[in-house]
Structure 1
Amino acid sequence: MNAPIIDPLQGDFPEVIEEFLQHGVMKCIAFNRRGTLLAAGCSDGSCVIWDFETKGIAKELRDKDCVSPITSVCWSKGGRHILVSSTDKSLTLWDVVNREKIMCTTLQQTILHACLHPGSCTPSICLACPLFSAPIIVDLNTRSTTVLPVSVNDAGTGLDPPSRNKFSDGTPPLIPTAACFNKYGDLVYVGNAKGEILIIDHKTIQVYGIVPISGAAVIKNILFSRSGQYLLTNSNDRTIRVYENHLPPKDGLRALNELSNTIEKPQGIDKLKAVGLKCLVLFREFQDSITRIHWKAPCFSGDGEWVIGACASKGEHKIYIWDRAGHLVKILEGPKEGLIDLAWHPVHPIVVSVSLSGLVYIWAKDYTENWSAFAPDFKELEENEEYIEREDEFDLIPEIEKVKESDVNEDDEVDIETVEKDSVFSDSDLSQEELIFLPAVPCPDVPEQHDNYAGLSSKLVERNHLGSPPSEEAGQNGQAMNPASSSIEVVNNSVAEDTDITHMKRKRKSSEKGFELQAEKGEKPLTKNKSSGKLLKINKKSRVGQDTSICVFKDEVVEYQ
């Protein structure tokens, strides 16, 4: 739906579960820049790409050497590449169109999150956040790695080397560090376990600013809005904070250098904090003051007007939606299972969530019909009213008011070639080589079964598969009924109707006296089975081998030798 025609009084945020996607056990999701494709990482090591318009699978990227669960997926700027990280410490770059593996490297630790450089359509650099160490810049061409600093020494004269990022006993910290690129990728923002945000130039590995967070709690998530104007952090003190970025989205490093040169008095770590406080200013805090729950997978909406966060409890599938002013506007409640990942559609008011069971739920708006939008003279009634006709309503020439003449000049030429720029996307999101859709591969239809008894055979196979007890006659003869055998084909149409799955309940059997009465009425002769002592009706139209016969007893089909 186009953004200009959304009713502003209803609010452009999702309300109900529209449908769900199912393919294996999915763990993480990510939209491309246009929101036309949705990538999902699965527990078997594969990456499934859904066409979000048709809700069908467009591609499946699978590496036979990788069978470990996927931890994160990230699209390139042009949408032609996907970076996948898994629990086997591997980073894999895929060509989406050709379904080819371009690069694969193995790091020393498991990667929780990895993202490509947002400023280049050709992926060459990525930022990886390992489980037990500092963030790493990975060069995808040379496969070289550079560890980013996560803290500054007290004197402020230098950075703590990566080897000092340990506890006093020499063991590595057990708390992962969050990091993200800014809009154009010239700066990296790192949130550490001390409750600080470090602004780092990833090329020179230099810290330009430090932003302390109130409470000094561990930062679990950090990310920018689509426009780059706001920065969101999720801390261990159960609070989501939004900061306003005062650096320009483009050439942020140059502006940061100029800002740092203007501050001369404080030196060392105090100067870094002074620079950081001018770069990021606290805008709003979001929390549940009653239940004090922890948050998981927070993010912005596509336009940055809404902030969402998921409840971190394992037995609840709740999504909280706030506006930028800090008001809680909606709580979405899903199935009674935990939530793993969350993503907001870049354009539409749609939220996609991943549950613990591996299903992907699509939350959308519950639109109300407004017929007056299509016919201005249409009037909606709250209740039934008696219609009073006009005096001239059924006249041949009614005396109606003249239609007001339109002010639009019909002789003017209409421009149908110029494409208006979508306000949702900025200049950095536009690319001539951007991949928006993938060609769908049609699945072949199952050939129709022209045999009249194919349906009966499938139903009997299903009944046998579900564990239903075999017929009494087959059990007494010492043989189990084989519904899938070719002998089913000899049953005629009338018997096939009687042996339908809905009519296969055990019925009361008649006595031998009843069979004698039936014979006196002129019915078909009956034959007695010598092995079981039961009377059976022989089907004389059998086309099977000589050693096999098909018999019908009441509503059951029995095969015996």
Structure 2
Amino acid sequence: MNAPIIDPLQGDFPEVIEEYLEHGIMKCIAFNRRGTLLAAGCADGTCIIWDFETRGIAKELQDKDCNAAITSVCWSKYGHRILVSASDKSLILWDVLSGEKIARTTLEQTVLQARLHPGSSTPSLCLACPFSSAPMIVDIISGTTTVLPVLISEAGNGIAPNARSKTPDGSTTYSPSTACFNKFGDLVYTGNSKGEILIIDHGKVQVRALVPVSSGSIIRNIVFSRNGQYLLTNTNDRMIRIYENLLPMKDAHKVLDELHETLDEADEVEKLKAAGTKCLSLVQEFQDSINRIQWKAPCFSGDGEWVISGSASRGEHKIYIWDRAGHLVKILEGPKEALMDLAWHPVHPLIVSVSLTGLVYIWAKDYTENWSAFAPDFKELEENEEYVEREDEFDLMPETEKVKESDVNEDDPVDILNVEKDSAFSDSDMSQEELCFLPAIPCPEVPEQQEKCVGSSSKLPDGNQSESPLSVEAGQNGHAANNASSPLEAMENSVAGETEGTRLKRRRRPSEKGLELQAEKTKKPSKTMKPSGRLSKTSKSAAEPESSNGVNGDYASDDYS
């Protein structure tokens, strides 16, 4: 759709379900950096890569050692690698173009979410968030792990035995911690069960700043916007909070080191909190104060202007859309299925959601064309109006007044070598190394039909060939019963049989004499009721020659008491 004819007042967010993708039972999704490919993790351990432009499957990644459900998928920055975490505690790194497995490692806990390091084009480091332990930095190739701190001791040191929280009765329970990289991967932002955001230098494994959440509730999700300017948190108090990132995009860990040198706080915890005020600033809070909905899979739009989240209630597929100012602008209602995962397209106003049944729904904008954009004097009418022409509407105008001078200086040089930077990507232009598309592999549309045709002439155990089912059916219908010599002929015979059967169904009801002729051809006696109330049956088989009066066989009437 052309941008000039789109009404800007309609809002740049999706409104209706455009179509859906179906392949097995999909659990989680992730777009590549350009939004041209969509990766989906399935319940059987496969990772499906969809070509989002054609809505076709471009690649299928399957590890024979992994049959467990996929919990998360993540692309590398330039799309050459995909990281997959499964419920069997495994992490698998794939080469997308070749479809080969680069490395596989197994952890002690099931990983709920895994993210590749965003600062490298071919990363091997990832951030893994296990179910019941602290987040860790994992080198997939070497298998080494570094556990990150999730709690702050009274002395100000970070500790990470596990993600534990105490209940009111004093018992200890496990709650999963969430974490994410910043834009260039030099810092890790972790949310713990005490309602605190820890900013960690994972290279030194040190907590550099602490930002407490006002409610002190468990942080369930923590997500950065695409440009790294805003941070989103989802807590157990059913509220989504938006923070502005006050640190620079690059070399943020160096700025934190300099900041610690300038702080004179005696208490180490207060020093971390003071550093946290220089890192994040609360901007807005979102909640449904009426229904008190628990949120699931929140994220930003591609440009960071919108915030979306799904309802965690069972049996409903609702997506809430807010602007960054905190206004609820749209509620998308889907089928009566629970929502599992969400993703906003990096460039276009599209949302992709995963349902409990494994379908992937694509939400798109319902465009209304603005035809007045083609001509400034064009006016759209809601109903018929009487037109009154102006007095000078059809006056002849001099040609000199019609010609307008162009504002373009023809002497200025034209740059045909450099490409303008895409505003949707803040860090770099299109890289020559970036993988945006995969070669398509042609496959038959209906493989089941071809398998039936190929297997129609199978060999028996004694070496004799069994008669084709298609030929047997054709013979019973009174057609030529020649064995198919090729799958193509078998398909043609089956189509012909189906067509003939359709024609027979459309004929009128046959007469009594016609029923008798048909029964004699099939060598079966046919009994019909004569108008006199007596029954008539055939006395000769259909194999005898026709009689002289042109009727097949002789008919005799027997009385039945």
Instruction: State how far apart, in whole Å, the 2-side matches of 1:293 and 1:57 are.
Output: 35
Alignment TM-score, normalising by the size of structure 2: 0.80
Instruction: Assess if the C-alpha contact under 8 Å between 1:3 and 1:348 holds in 2.
Output: no
Distance 1:42 1:401, change over 3 A: farther
Distance 1:421 1:97, change over 3 A: same
Instruction: Assess if the C-alpha contact under 8 Å between 2:46 and 2:70 holds in 1.
Output: yes
Instruction: State how far apart, in whole Å, the 1-side matches of 2:293 and 2:99 are.
Output: 41
Q: What residue in structure 2 maps to residue 399 of structure 1? A: 396
Instruction: Assess if the C-alpha contact under 8 Å between 1:33 and 1:429 holds in 2.
Output: no
Instruction: State how far apart, in whole Å, the 2-side matches of 1:438 and 1:495 are.
Output: 40
1:347-381 per-position Cα deviation (integer Å, ceiling 9, x unaligned): 11111100001111111111101222234454323
Distance 1:4 1:279, change over 3 A: farther
Instruction: Assess if the C-alpha contact under 8 Å between 2:163 and 2:193 holds in 1.
Output: no
Distance 1:501 1:312, change over 3 A: farther
Instruction: State how far apart, in whole Å, the 2-side matches of 1:303 and 1:160 are.
Output: 36
Secondary structure in 1 matching 2:84: strand
Alignment TM-score, normalising by the size of structure 1: 0.80
Match runs of 1:175-324 below 5 Å: 175-324=175-324
Q: What residue in structure 2 maps to residue 515 of structure 1? A: 513
Q: What residue in structure 2 maps to residue 92 of structure 1? A: 92
Secondary structure in 1 matching 2:152: coil
Structure 1 position 446, deviation (Å) = 7.1
Q: What residue in structure 2 maps to residue 140 of structure 1? A: 140
Secondary structure in 1 matching 2:431: coil
Match runs of 1:354-433 below 5 Å: 354-385=354-385, 399=396, 402=399, 403-409=402-408, 411=410, 414-428=414-428, 430-433=430-433
1:85-135 per-position Cα deviation (integer Å, ceiling 9, x unaligned): 000100000000000100100000100000001111111210000001000
Instruction: State how far apart, in whole Å, the 2-side matches of 1:122 and 1:170 are.
Output: 46
Matched, 1:491 2:479: yes
Instruction: State how far apart, in whole Å, the 2-side matches of 1:420 and 1:487 are.
Output: 66
Structure 1 position 509, deviation (Å) = 7.7
Instruction: State how far apart, in whole Å, the 1-side matches of 2:146 and 2:2 are.
Output: 43
Instruction: State how far apart, in whole Å, the 1-side matches of 2:541 and 2:254 are.
Output: 95
Structure 1 position 313, deviation (Å) = 0.8
Distance 1:170 1:88, change over 3 A: farther
Q: Which runs of 5+ in 1 are unaligned?
A: 462-481, 541-561
Structure 1 position 279, deviation (Å) = 1.2
Q: What residue in structure 1 maps to residue 120 of structure 2? A: 120
Distance 1:176 1:2, change over 3 A: farther
1:247-268 per-position Cα deviation (integer Å, ceiling 9, x unaligned): 1111111111122222113422
Amino acid at match of 1:405: K
Instruction: State how far apart, in whole Å, the 2-side matches of 1:279 and 1:381 are.
Output: 53
Instruction: Assess if the C-alpha contact under 8 Å between 1:34 and 1:346 holds in 2.
Output: yes
Amino acid at match of 2:254: R
Identity %: 65
Q: What residue in structure 1 maps to residue 490 of structure 2? A: none
Instruction: State how far apart, in whole Å, the 1-side matches of 2:542 and 2:146 are.
Output: 81
Structure 1 position 139, deviation (Å) = 1.3
Secondary structure in 1 matching 2:10: coil
Q: What residue in structure 1 maps to residue 68 of structure 2? A: 68
Structure 1 position 429, deviation (Å) = 6.6
Amino acid at match of 1:94: W
Distance 1:146 1:173, change over 3 A: farther
Q: What residue in structure 2 maps to residue 464 of structure 1? A: none
Secondary structure in 1 matching 2:154: coil
Distance 1:342 1:86, change over 3 A: same
Secondary structure in 2 matching 1:184: coil
Q: What residue in structure 2 maps to residue 471 of structure 1? A: none
Distance 1:255 1:507, change over 3 A: same
Amino acid at match of 2:52: F
Q: What residue in structure 1 maps to residue 520 of structure 2? A: 527
Matched, 1:155 2:143: no
1:315-344 per-position Cα deviation (integer Å, ceiling 9, x unaligned): 110000000110000000000111000001
Instruction: State how far apart, in whole Å, the 2-side matches of 1:333 and 1:400 are.
Output: 56
Instruction: Assess if the C-alpha contact under 8 Å between 1:77 and 1:429 holds in 2.
Output: no
Q: What residue in structure 2 maps to residue 554 of structure 1? A: none
Secondary structure in 1 matching 2:474: helix
Q: What residue in structure 2 maps to residue 477 of structure 1? A: none
Distance 1:163 1:528, change over 3 A: closer
Amino acid at match of 1:515: K
Instruction: Assess if the C-alpha contact under 8 Å between 1:123 and 1:140 holds in 2.
Output: no
Amino acid at match of 1:340: M
Q: Which moved more, 1:423-432 or 1:353-362?
A: 423-432
Distance 1:297 1:528, change over 3 A: closer
In the comparison of the two structures, how many residue pairs are matched?
Answer: 499
Distance 1:301 1:159, change over 3 A: same
Instruction: State how far apart, in whole Å, the 1-side matches of 2:171 and 2:471 are.
Output: 65
Q: Which moved more, 1:490-499 or 1:40-49?
A: 490-499
Instruction: State how far apart, in whole Å, the 1-side matches of 2:307 and 2:118 are.
Output: 22
RMSD: 3.7
Q: Which runs of 5+ in 2 are unaligned?
A: 457-467, 481-492, 528-536, 544-561
Structure 1 position 427, deviation (Å) = 2.4
Distance 1:354 1:526, change over 3 A: closer
Instruction: State how far apart, in whole Å, the 2-side matches of 1:325 and 1:119 are.
Output: 30
Structure 1 position 172, deviation (Å) = 7.7
Structure 1 position 171, deviation (Å) = 9.6
Q: What residue in structure 2 maps to residue 337 of structure 1? A: 337
Instruction: State how far apart, in whole Å, the 2-side matches of 1:362 and 1:16 are.
Output: 8
Amino acid at match of 1:243: Y
Q: What residue in structure 2 maps to residue 543 of structure 1? A: none
Instruction: Assess if the C-alpha contact under 8 Å between 2:165 and 2:194 holds in 1.
Output: no
Instruction: State how far apart, in whole Å, the 1-side matches of 2:49 and 2:520 are.
Output: 63
Amino acid at match of 1:22: E
Structure 1 position 485, deviation (Å) = 4.0
Q: Which moved more, 1:221-230 or 1:409-418?
A: 409-418
1:396-428 per-position Cα deviation (integer Å, ceiling 9, x unaligned): xx9356433241458556544431111111225
Amino acid at match of 1:111: V
Distance 1:116 1:399, change over 3 A: same
Secondary structure in 2 matching 1:58: strand
1:499-541 per-position Cα deviation (integer Å, ceiling 9, x unaligned): 545965999786xxx328x99xxxx68628775544799999x
Q: What residue in structure 2 maps to residue 106 of structure 1? A: 106
1:56-80 per-position Cα deviation (integer Å, ceiling 9, x unaligned): 1111111111111100000001110
Instruction: Assess if the C-alpha contact under 8 Å between 2:163 and 2:175 holds in 1.
Output: no
